[in-house]
Structure 1
Amino acid sequence: MTLVDTSTGIAQRIAATIDPVFAVIEEWRTRVEQALEADDDPRAASFDPLVADLVAGELERPGTLITGAGFVAAPGFLPDAPWHLAWWLSGASPFRVEQTGGGLRRLDAVSDPDAEAFRDYTTLEWWRVPARTGRRHLTGPYVDYLCTDDYTVTITTPVVVDGEMAGLVGADVYVARLEQALLPVLRAADRTCTIVNASGRIVASTDTHRATGALLRLDGLADALAPLREAEAEGRATDAAPLPGGADVVPCGDTSLALVVE
């Protein structure tokens, strides 16, 4: 087997690890859209229990990568909650666990725009990019001070009702959990392997000196990743590319992640 074949195989295994998360989120999107389309006057008070039931099974499933999930409404979409996050955290999430005692629990988000702690979520990447492209987006890794207080990957996709974006559904995945799942895959190669997002930020690496969230600085990497960013916005896959120093950049399916093999 050639090095290219090995790299492609590893990239495919990375995609196969993450694709089930995408599939779950897509199912949630479909069911949320159906529920909203069937409701002439959706309200947070009646809609939130539906979202809780929708995500609870996955959040409590043993072995799931997802540690938080839910629905975020477009400002003003819900008359009784102009700014609204219906987001739940699993018992595996330590975020604010000392205040709740653990177990499945709802994120205590500040929804009053006049409050000092209020944060306009429409300015954040996980909202901003799907709102612009109309497509799924993977944000991170980043330290999520809103939901997890740890390095996180957030995957979000728009919810559309009557041709308008009503909000989005999504999920949080701890990078530490991704590393546990992906590092054994990366170690199948006899060269240094690093997973990066479309901006070149490190998700996981067999090089222990490469920190999560840091930019991977290799000659030509930014140019090699540019088609990956374009492909994500258009909902398509892209091709592998060599770097001047001899490394290869291999897309991991349509996850918007890439495998860098040196």
Structure 2
Amino acid sequence: MRAQRMTLMSVEEEIRGFARDLAADLDRLFDHLNRIASLVRQRLGAENAHERRWGPFQPDQLRMMEAEADQLLEQHPLVSGAGIIFDPDRIVSPEQLIPWRVRGERGAPEAYGFDFDEHSRDYYDFLQLPWFAEPKSTGAPKLTTPYVDFLGVDEYILTAAVPFADEHGFVGVAGSDIEVNTLEKVMMRAAKTVSGRFVLLGAQGRIVCSTTARFLPGELLEQNTERGHHLELPTQVPTLSLYWE
């Protein structure tokens, strides 16, 4: 019995260690997004002082935003895309709504374009998506649970977003995407050093990824899992949790 308790304690310590490491990665990401949001607000806000609509942005201003996104991609291996997303009501040029950067086929950052023609079948209508709508209404950062970014980057992702505002109110968010398959790889690497099976959960107990075929991504955690253990990831933007047996 004592040996069994020691084993359970060891598994819990391993899981908690993984939770701390993942939470630290996410917190560093949000810290970086906060810095980008502040920089964009200070530089572009100063150049558009007292104007309700910012822009149109000059080449050097666009290069500044691209460089910040590229640096974030280089420093955060979890991230697949990053940039600024402006409120359409707050900028002059619709084609400058989302200066966005992604990892190219060889890993180097490159531009990614979206369709903002409302009459197009590929129109990217992001205004009601949680990563944009919630920071706009609450003024707080957001980490979404997984979703398919249809007509956006068309991947199964989580999005982290930090809002920024000026004297007229909300302007936009600094954002970044994390592909679920990247989190799966992180989980599987961790599984090599963790004795138990464990699952990463999003809101309402929906499975993001796991280290066992018993728990399938996208499904709700089974109701008969009382014998297991839950742990909220200790992050500054609480969204994810772990379950293990």
When normalised by structure 1's length, the TM-score is 0.76
Provide the residue aligned with 1:38 in structure 2.
46
Displacement of 1:115 in angstroms is: 3.0
Higher gyration radius (CA) = 2
Alpha-carbon distance in structure 2 between the residues aligned to 1:63 and 1:27: 14
Provide the residue aligned with 2:3 in structure 1.
none
Alpha-carbon distance in structure 2 between the residues aligned to 1:122 and 1:63: 26
Alpha-carbon distance in structure 2 between the residues aligned to 1:152 and 1:131: 20
Provide the residue aligned with 2:229 in structure 1.
248
Compared CA separation, residues 103 and 187, structure 1 to 2 (3 A):
closer
Instruction: Work out whether residues 187 and 211 of structure 2, in 8 Å CA contact, stay in contact via their aligned partners in 1.
Output: no
Displacement of 1:177 in angstroms is: 1.5
Selected match of 1:117 from 91, 115, 122: 122
Any idea what the Cα deviations from partners look like across 1:178-218, whole Å, max 9, x if unmatched? 22223333454433210111232222211124333333233
Any idea what the Cα deviations from partners look like across 1:66-86, whole Å, max 9, x if unmatched? 111111111220122288222
Instruction: Work out whether residues 153 and 174 of structure 1, in 8 Å CA contact, stay in contact via their aligned partners in 2.
Output: yes
Compared CA separation, residues 170 and 63, structure 1 to 2 (3 A):
closer
What are the ranges of 5 or more consecutive residues in structure 2 without an aligned counterpart? 1-5
Displacement of 1:138 in angstroms is: 1.2
Alpha-carbon distance in structure 1 between the residues aligned to 2:96 and 2:70: 22
Q: Percent identity?
A: 25
Provide the residue aligned with 2:17 in structure 1.
9
1:141 matched to 2:146? The reply is yes
Provide the residue aligned with 2:34 in structure 1.
26
Read off the aligned partner of 2:92 and give its amino acid letter: P
Compared CA separation, residues 207 and 7, structure 1 to 2 (3 A):
same
Provide the residue aligned with 1:229 in structure 2.
none
Compared CA separation, residues 63 and 166, structure 1 to 2 (3 A):
closer
Displacement of 1:153 in angstroms is: 1.4
Displacement of 1:92 in angstroms is: 4.3
Alpha-carbon distance in structure 2 between the residues aligned to 1:38 and 1:153: 32
Compared CA separation, residues 29 and 85, structure 1 to 2 (3 A):
same
Any idea what the Cα deviations from partners look like across 1:29-77, whole Å, max 9, x if unmatched? 1111112321125314324322112112233x27722111111111220
Any idea what the Cα deviations from partners look like across 1:210-247, whole Å, max 9, x if unmatched? 3333332335xxxxxxxxxxxxxxxxxxxxxxx7x122
Aligned-CA RMSD value: 2.6
Any idea what the Cα deviations from partners look like across 1:137-172, whole Å, max 9, x if unmatched? 111322223333222111111111226110111001
Alpha-carbon distance in structure 2 between the residues aligned to 1:195 and 1:53: 32
Read off the aligned partner of 2:57 and give its amino acid letter: A
Compared CA separation, residues 29 and 256, structure 1 to 2 (3 A):
same
SS, match of residue 99 in structure 2: strand
Report matched runs for 1:23-172 at 5 Å. Answer: 23-40=31-48, 42-46=54-58, 47-59=61-73, 61=74, 64-81=77-94, 84-92=97-105, 104-162=109-167, 164-172=169-177
Report matched runs for 1:174-189 at 5 Å. Answer: 174-189=179-194
SS, match of residue 67 in structure 1: strand
Read off the aligned partner of 1:136 and give its amino acid letter: P
Instruction: Work out whether residues 123 and 151 of structure 2, in 8 Å CA contact, stay in contact via their aligned partners in 1.
Output: no
